[in-house]
Each structure stands twice: as C-alpha cells, then as structure tokens.
Amino acid sequence: MAFTPLIAMVAVLYSHSPAMTKRVSYAATSLNTLLSLYLLIKFDVDKAGLQFAEQFSFLGLSYSVGIDGLNILFIPLIACATLLVLIYISATQTSGNSRLIAGVLGYEAILMAAFCAMNVLQFWFLTVAELLPLILMAKQSELDQKKRHLVVRLLQFFGASLFMTLCGFLLLAFGLIDSEHPLTFDFMTLKSNNAYLHDETLIFILLFYGFAIRMPLFPFHGWLPLLVEQGKLTSMTVFIIGLKLGVYAMIRFIFPLVPGIAEQWANYVLILCLISIFYGALLAFMQNNIYRLLAFATISHTGMLVFGLFSFNEHGLEGTLLLSLVYGLASLGMLLSISLINEQTRTVMIPRLGDLFDSHTTLALLFMITALSTMIMPGSLGFDAGHLLLEGVIEEHEWGVSITILTGHVLAAGFLLWAFQRMFLASSKRHIHYSRNDQTINQERIIALIICSLLIGTGLNSMPLLNLIEKDVAELVRQYPVHSSQDGAETPNDNVETDDKDAAP
C-alpha cells in the first residue's frame, strides 16, 4: 500500500498523456482503497499487538512496519481521502497538471509508510520526505508574491519540529546503552527496554513540542493559517491526514515509551489544550477568509484531541482516535466544498459570497453535514466519538473541566454554522458569476455521497470501529504507571482496612 502510489507517481511524471495520467492515478488509488478494506476485514479484533508486520534490514538500514489498533483507522482514511482529492482535481481545471497529481500520490505513499512505521528513525526520515511534496505544491499556489514567505515559514516550523523529534529519537536510542541491546531504533525494542532510559523528561519535551508543531497546538500554529490561505490543493493535502500524523505520533511514541513523564506533565499540557480550544474558536469568528476560518477551527479541534489523550483512560483515547477520523473526513469535506465553490466563483471571502444554497445545493449539504459531524451531531460518528472523549475527561477531571471544554465546543459550532449561514443562506451583496457543467456536478455529487455516507454510516453503527481499536487501547492504558496503579489499588487498601478493624478487638 505504500509502494503502489509511489510507482504510480513515477509513471505519472514520465507520462505525457493526460488520459494516461488520469487512468494510472485512479487505478493506484482505487487499488489502495480496496486493499485498505481488505486490511479491515482481515484484522483480528480479538488480538492486541502488531499484525501484518514486516521487517528486514538492507545495507545497515532497518525497515519495519506493522498495523495495530492505534493506526488501523488511519490507513483506509488516507486511501479514501486521496481518491476524493483526485476526483476533485478531475472536477477542476487542474486535471492536466501531472505535477500536482504526482505530488498527491507521493504524499499518499509517504503517509502510508509513516503511519505504519515501527522504527523511529524510519518514521523521522518519512516526516522529512513529507515536507518535499508540501513545498512543491505550495509553489503551485496562485499568490506568487507570497510563495517565498510561505516556503520559508514552512521550513522554519517544520525544521524546528524535525530537529526536536530527531534529538528525542536519538536520546531514546542511546538511552539503552546500559542494557544488553546494541544501538537500535526499533520501536518494539525501545518499548520493552524503556526502564533503562535516561533523560526521560528531556525526551518528552523534545517529542511533545516537535509533534505539537505538526498538529498544530497553540502556540505552535503560526504556519497553518498562512499555508491554508495560499493554495487550495495544498490545504487539502495537509488537512486530510498530515495534521493527524502529529496526534498519532504522540500516541505511538510518547505514551508507550515515557508514560510516567507524560503523566507528570499532564497539567501543563492541558493548559495549552484549553487555550488552543478557545483561541482557535475566537480567532475563527474574526475571519473573512473561509480557508483561514477552517485553519483556526482545526487549532481548536486539536486542543480537544490532545485533551482526550491526556485523560489517561480508555474512553479518552478511544474518543480521540475516533474523533481524529471524524475531523479528517469532515475537514476534507468542508475544504472540498469550499474549493469547488472557489473554482466557480473565484473567491473565498465570506462577505462576497451568499445565496448559494439553491445554485450549489450539493456543496451546501456537504459543508453542513461535515460541519455538524464535528459538533457531535447525533447520527454521525462524531456523536459517539465526542461522547467517549468527554466521558474520559469526566473520569479524569470531573465536571468542571468538561463543562469548560463543552463551552469551547459550542463556540466551534457557532462559527461553523455562522459561516454556513453567510455563504449559503444570506442574501448576496453582489452578483456572483460562476461556470459549471454536468461533469462537475456529477463529481460534486460523488464526493458528497462518499463523505456523508462514511460519516453517517459509521455513526449509525460505530461498534465495528471500536472493536478494531479496543484491545490495543486497553493495552496502552495499562502501561501508565500512576493511573494503572490507582485503578488496581482500591481492592488491596480495602482489604488492609478490613483486617485492621477485625484485629482491633
């Protein structure tokens, strides 16, 4: 699944025929979508740990991949999202641009490999490679005067993230010097020998801040609004799963390797999460550019996801994984609808839009359903995911913090509904010229049907998804030294107290 889009990317770059480019790209992404469904069917929900694992060494380099409950949901999301982006490209005037299509295929290959990587150095090199298609597609943006500034900003933020994560991974590997194992970057070896680690606090700080830039979490978000504002396709490729890679990396590499330090720093992290939730929501209300509004919405959503992670219980972690899936699909749906409107109206400024519901009913419904999915709408997957996350927060922090989070969530619902009302229902202040054809309308309907069916279909029956992640989530939660001991400490204490009372007479 990682090499299929890579091979297709090479074929697209050497192809001089737009028709051949289209056939090769669709064939590769369709094959990966089918393989991801096969992966879900063959995944053993009754077993915790890695499945479909592959590992070999070549010229001193180790290649290790595998699937478990922590990354199983992201794989079909990557495949499906790439297919939807290609459908979007076919619906616009960029379908003949082979470099853009090759960039999308290359980005899919990198994400597939990164989400399956079980070697920390391998994961790091893939995150380095991820920056290449982002910069190439950023240069394809229409605002030429800001291209250089955008690329410099990306290199600054991503460079800092890569430097900190590399230092953290090196400290992890060299921290096992006192053990019997030689120098290794294998995740399973590091996990089974993390008791030998030195400088655990420094490792946590480096990895957390490095991944926080990628999510992005306040105050490490400065690159996202600028990037989203510059280019439509770049926005989508980042929003699809690229942002979720930071959340996944935190689940994969921080909690299993330095769980005790994560528990010690939880209060400081939760302060950042609360600021991120309200800061993103309030800044979103101030935006007239719909792309920037969605960028700040993502910053607010990221605070919710990290809050669930640092609840240190099964409900919080399950809710975070499912909500990551929801936010990925919903963000993709909103961006596709807005980008298609932008292609036809040549504007993304909310005050210039309006009264589009009758003329763009499919896109309006797509935006509304995906926006409602992020608001924990009953009938969507976001409903179950959000309630699991909130239940985990209540277990850890009681009602006060939960009510505060819900207040921020209401703000998030407000700015998305307000944007929908201004774009699709309010009277237009100017006459909007737009051009459409039957092919574009059919592709819009296909995109809307796929995304809405996935969100609502999984929402009506989320148990299969919960079964996929349940075992590995429970296994991860048992590794928390403080919280797992608290859960198991009640019975011994009760026994001791009873023995004392019996012995008193």
The answer to whether 455 and 369 are in contact (CB under 8 A) is yes
- Spell out the per-residue pLDDT of the chain, length 505, in tens: 989 999 999 988 888 788 888 888 899 999 999 999 999 999 988 888 888 988 887 766 778 899 998 999 999 999 999 898 888 887 775 555 777 888 888 888 999 999 999 999 999 999 998 888 777 766 665 545 666 777 788 888 888 999 999 999 998 888 777 666 677 788 888 888 776 777 888 989 999 999 998 888 888 888 888 777 766 665 566 667 778 888 899 999 998 888 888 888 888 888 898 898 888 888 888 888 888 888 888 888 888 888 888 888 888 898 899 988 888 888 888 888 888 888 778 778 888 887 888 788 888 899 988 888 888 778 888 888 888 888 888 888 877 777 887 787 778 778 888 888 888 888 776 666 666 666 777 888 888 899 989 988 888 888 999 999 988 888 888 888 776 666 554 433 444 343 443 444 3
Distance of CA 448 to the CA centre of its chain: 20
Confidence at residue 39, expressed as pLDDT on a 0 to 100 scale: 92
**338 contacts 350 by C-beta, under 8 angstroms:** no
- The residue type of 114 is A
State both tokens at 242: 């690229």
Instruction: Indicate the burial class of 53 (C-beta count within 10 angstroms; 0-12, 13-18, 19 or more).
Output: middle
Give 246's Cβ-side CA count (13 Å radius): 27
Token digits of residue 328: 């990925």
Q: How far apart are CA 216 and CA 157, in angstroms?
A: 10
Q: Which residues contact 495 (CB under 8 A, 6 or more apart)?
A: none
As a whole number of Å, the end-to-end CA separation of the chain is: 71
Q: What are phi and psi of 289, to 5 degrees?
A: -90, 120
**Cα separation, 493 vs 262, whole angstroms:** 26
CB atoms within 10 A of CB 342: 17
Query: Which parts of 69-164 are beta strand (E)?
Result: none
* Matching residue, tokens 């960028």: 295
d(CA 457, CA 178): 51
Alpha helices in 374-462 (DSSP H): 381-420, 438-460
Q: How many CB atoms lie within 10 A of CB 449?
A: 12
Q: What CA–CA distance (Å, rounded) separates 173 from 175?
A: 5
d(CA 156, CA 148): 12
Cβ neighbours, 10 Å, residue 274: 16
Provide the Cα torsion 483, 484, 490, 491; round to 10°. Answer: 180
